[in-house]
Structure 1
Amino acid sequence: MFGIYLKRELSRRKKTALVVAMGLALGIALVITVNSVSAGMTQAQDKVLKSLYGLGTDMTVTKARSAPTAGSSQGPRFQFDAKSSSKTSQSSDRVMTQGGQALKSSLVQRVAAQQGVASAVGALSLNVTKVDGSFTQGKARSSGSGGQQGGPGAGGGGQPQVQGGGASFNVNSYSVAGVDVTNQDLGPLATMKITSGRTFTPAQTDAKVAVVAKSYAKEKKYKVGSTFKISGTTYAVTGIATPDSGESTTDVYLPLKQAQSLGDAEDEVTTIYVEAADSKQIAAVKKRIQANISGTTVTTSSDLAATVSGSLSTASDLATSVGTWLSVAVLAAAFLVAALLTSAAVSRRVREFGTLKALGWPSRRVTRQVVGESVVNGLIGGGLGIALGLAAACTVTAVSPKPTAQLGSTGGGTGGGMGGGMGDGPGQQSAKNTLEIALSAPVSPTTIALAVGLAVAGGLIAGAMGGWRASRMRPADALRSVA
């Protein structure tokens, strides 16, 4: 009886049912869209952070570089021989550590031994500035008249002038990361995927081999098997690596011992990458490391996330604040409209409900009938809302807008923060790493479940208001409406 009556009443009031369902659908669709875009923003921010310090890294340990003393030279120096009379090519490399102040390698074991730390590895960040070119020595010629060279006693002789000669040099600067080859799942290479060749083997702790970022390999036309020199040492390219997202912040990866030898940093690292045993205890582990290892700066992923700026951060803030409040406002308005329409529909059914009560229907049965109709309207609206929300999310994913994210320095002085080597070296300007991330809008089962719950809730709210009004009607009301 309930189902038959419900079907008949909904068929009779298709227009009202459609208006109520569409109101709820718009509110639910907006909620799904905002939730999916917010989830996409979160994924994009995670990609930004992972592209900098790698999946599995929960924090890094660095040390702020001490302020330079007065009168000390902070720029690199190059010395060349300019005495040659012929055009001779010359080359010089200047290798400098970058990021924070160097840490002793023994600190890696101390950090790894702290309570709550699952593993820790050290890495060394270097900046290589290569200058190559040649000098051409000029020739001294007299400016005297008559073609005679000036000299002592030579009348009318002019001053000798140097003609010709000069210098032509190219400057190439690139970044190098020393990697602990025994644990590559943590550290600079954790963000990279080998797309050609192979990565380091655990036995290559001091081998003259290198993994090169794809963008740098393309620029220099390196392939697997190519060789290049740094400070006179020849390295063979064993692999080409591509970052999981964005652009690589390091050009060349070397075994840690080789990087230490190049940078004259024996048994030193600039960044210690740390993985916590429990992701919920990261803050406690950070405090423990800072308390037990003085003078260091511990940067967590949340610290680094606070420095992310650019259009990605702006869009994320809008989706979180404005989008959330807008969806709540629209949903509340949809619920209110559904309740008012249901209540108005009940008012027009005075004769019907009064007659039903005269025939013996109790108030609770009348209320149940109205609530049932409203819940069905809510479920119809929920289905339409889910369809609209999925369409909007698919549109965002298909368009795939590409917001940018910029990572500024954290509070670790001139250290590299989580990036471990992206900070300032001597004589360098502080720069922001800019990444471009393709945005998607994933819809999770939780979001769908939320939409269904909202649809039912909207129907119940509307039905409760309409049912309360219907339950207060008396059979006499139906008789007065007939009269």
Structure 2
Amino acid sequence: MFFTYLRRELRRRRRAALVVASGLGLGIALVIVVSSVTAGMGRAQDRVLESLYGLGTDMTVTKAASPPGEGETVRRPRFEFDAKGDGGGQSQDVVMVQGFETLPASTVAKVGAQDGVADAVGGLSARVMKVDGRFGPGEARPGKPVQGGGADFGVDSYSVYGTDVAHQELGPLTTSRITSGRTFRAAETSAAVAVVDSAYAKEQGLAVGGKLTVSGTAYTVVGVATAESGDAAADVYLPLARAQALADAKDEVTTVYVRVTDSQRIAGVEAAIARNVPGTTVTTSADLADTVSGSLSTASGLAAGVGTWLSVVVLGAAFVVSGLLTSSAVGRRVREFGTLKALGWRSGRVTRQVVGESLVHGLIGGVLGIGVGLAGAWAVTAFGPTLTAELGGAPGGGARQVVGGPGGGGGPVRDAASRAVDVALTAPVSLMTIALAVGLAVAGGLVAGGFGGWRASRLRPADALRRVA
């Protein structure tokens, strides 16, 4: 009897049911779109952070460079050439650690031993300054240096990152995908091999099997890597031992990349490292997130703030309107419900009938809302804008130095203070979001049914008899 009456009432009042369901559907669709866009913002921000420190990295341990003390001088690249006779071809590389002061390699083991740390990997960031060219012929006099002539030299600069080839699951190399050749093998801890970034390989005409000479040693290019988003972490990746030897930093690292056992323990692990490994600076993914600015940060703030509140307001309004419409519909059915009570229906049965109808309205609204919400999320993914994230300068980052001055003079300019990463906006819809939509649909139906059921339970058979008269 319940379902028969329910089916007849829904068929008779199709228009009223569609209005109530549409209101609920609109609110549910907005919740789905906002939730999906917010999830997409979070995913985009994760990609941005991964472009800085690599996939799976929860925090990094470094040692900030201290300002030079009184009387100390800053080490700068120095090139020395012996211009005898016509000078001939001259070439020299200077490899220097960049970004931070170095830490003892033993720091990696200390960090890895802390409670809550799943893995810790060290890396060394360096920069190669390469000067090559030739002196022009000058006047040679017995017992005196060559005078006159001239010089024609070019200056090149590129970043090098020393990778622990036995533990490649952490670190900046994980931000890139091998598109040609292969990555390092675990046995190549001291091999003269290199993986180069695709942009740098194109610029220098390098390919798999080619040779890259650094400080007189020829390194075989075994792979070409392409950054998944933004700039690559380095132009050239070398085995850690090789990079340490080139930079005169044996058994030293600039950064320790840390993965924790549980994301809920990040704060505790950070405190433990700061306490037990003195002289270091710990930077978590949350700290990095605070440095992200640009359109991604702005859009993320709007989605999390304005979007969330807007969806809550619209959904709340939809619940209230559907409740009022249901209550109003019950008011127009006084004669019907009064007659049913006169025929023996109890108040509880009338109330259940009204709640059942409202629950079906809510489920219909849920179906409509899920459909519209999925369409909206698809539209955002298909036609959404590309957002830009401005990142603070990152240790080990590969922002290239620029050589100023005509003819390569003027020396290197410091690394750019920030990096811009472009990320396409997506709106992924999770099963949790769908479950939330279904829950809201049921809740909306119950709210509307509560309004109408309360009013229906107050009706008396005498009311129906007066309407008939």
TM-score, scaled relative to structure 2: 0.90
User: Unmatched 5+ residue regions in structure 2?
Assistant: 140-146, 402-411
> Cα deviation per residue 1:135-183 (whole Å; 9 max; x = unaligned)?
44689xxxxxxxxxxxxxxxxxxxxxx99x7554433221100011111
- Letter of the 1:77 partner, please give it: R
- Letter of the 1:202 partner, please give it: A
Q: Please give the secondary structure, in 2, of the residue aligned with 1:403.
A: strand
CA distance in 1 between counterparts of 2:285 and 2:43 reads: 14
CA distance in 2 between counterparts of 1:130 and 1:341 reads: 77
> Cα deviation per residue 1:343-383 (whole Å; 9 max; x = unaligned)?
11111111111111111111111111111111111111110
1:422 CA displacement: 7.1
Q: Please give the secondary structure, in 1, of the residue aligned with 2:424.
A: coil
**Residue number in structure 1 paired with 2:460:** 474
**Residue number in structure 1 paired with 2:409:** none
User: Unmatched 5+ residue regions in structure 1?
Assistant: 140-161, 410-415
- Letter of the 1:453 partner, please give it: G
**Pairing 1:8–2:8 present:** yes
**Residue number in structure 2 paired with 1:102:** 102
**Pairing 1:408–2:409 present:** no
Q: 1:117·1:275 contact (CA, 8 Å) conserved in 2?
A: yes
- Letter of the 1:446 partner, please give it: M
1:428 CA displacement: 2.2
CA distance in 1 between counterparts of 2:400 and 2:57 reads: 18
- Letter of the 2:117 partner, please give it: V
Match of 1:177 among 161, 164, 171: 161
Q: 1:93·1:129 contact (CA, 8 Å) conserved in 2?
A: yes
Q: Which has the larger radius of gyration?
A: 1
- Letter of the 2:42 partner, please give it: T
**Residue number in structure 1 paired with 2:221:** 237
- Letter of the 2:353 partner, please give it: Q
CA distance in 1 between counterparts of 2:400 and 2:445 reads: 56
1:431 CA displacement: 1.5
Q: 1:127·1:173 contact (CA, 8 Å) conserved in 2?
A: yes
1:399 CA displacement: 1.8
Distance change (3 Å), C-alpha of 1:387 and 1:23: same
CA distance in 1 between counterparts of 2:295 and 2:368 reads: 32
CA distance in 2 between counterparts of 1:138 and 1:379 reads: 92
> Cα deviation per residue 1:416-469 (whole Å; 9 max; x = unaligned)?
45x578799x97255212211122111111111110110111111011101111
CA distance in 2 between counterparts of 1:400 and 1:138 reads: 64
CA distance in 2 between counterparts of 1:481 and 1:178 reads: 89
Match of 2:242 among 258, 268, 272: 258
Write the mapping of 1:147-166 to structure 2, written as runs, cut at 5 A. none
Report the number of matched residues: 451
- Letter of the 1:314 partner, please give it: T
Q: Please give the secondary structure, in 2, of the residue aligned with 1:184.
A: coil
**Residue number in structure 2 paired with 1:45:** 45
**Residue number in structure 2 paired with 1:321:** 305
CA distance in 1 between counterparts of 2:311 and 2:452 reads: 25
Q: 1:124·1:421 contact (CA, 8 Å) conserved in 2?
A: no
CA distance in 2 between counterparts of 1:465 and 1:7 reads: 21
- Sequence identity, in percent? 64
**RMSD of equivalent CA atoms:** 2.4
CA distance in 1 between counterparts of 2:415 and 2:180 reads: 34
**Residue number in structure 1 paired with 2:278:** 294
Q: Please give the secondary structure, in 1, of the residue aligned with 2:386.
A: coil
TM-score, scaled relative to structure 1: 0.88
**Residue number in structure 2 paired with 1:380:** 364
**Pairing 1:205–2:206 present:** no
Q: 2:175·2:233 contact (CA, 8 Å) conserved in 1?
A: no
**Residue number in structure 2 paired with 1:333:** 317
**Residue number in structure 1 paired with 2:446:** 460
- Letter of the 1:172 partner, please give it: D
**Residue number in structure 1 paired with 2:92:** 92
**Residue number in structure 2 paired with 1:128:** 128
Deviation larger for 361-370 or 64-73: 64-73
Match of 2:269 among 277, 280, 285: 285
CA distance in 2 between counterparts of 1:271 and 1:130 reads: 24
Distance change (3 Å), C-alpha of 1:125 and 1:421: farther
Distance change (3 Å), C-alpha of 1:62 and 1:318: same
1:405 CA displacement: 1.5
Write the mapping of 1:342-381 to structure 2, written as runs, cut at 5 A. 342-381=326-365
1:77 CA displacement: 3.1
Q: 1:127·1:174 contact (CA, 8 Å) conserved in 2?
A: yes
Match of 1:436 among 422, 426, 442: 422
Q: 1:249·1:433 contact (CA, 8 Å) conserved in 2?
A: no
Q: Please give the secondary structure, in 1, of the residue aligned with 2:121.
A: strand
Write the mapping of 1:55-74 to structure 2, written as runs, cut at 5 A. 55-69=55-69, 72-73=73-74
1:121 CA displacement: 1.9
Q: 2:234·2:397 contact (CA, 8 Å) conserved in 1?
A: no
CA distance in 1 between counterparts of 2:272 and 2:77 reads: 38
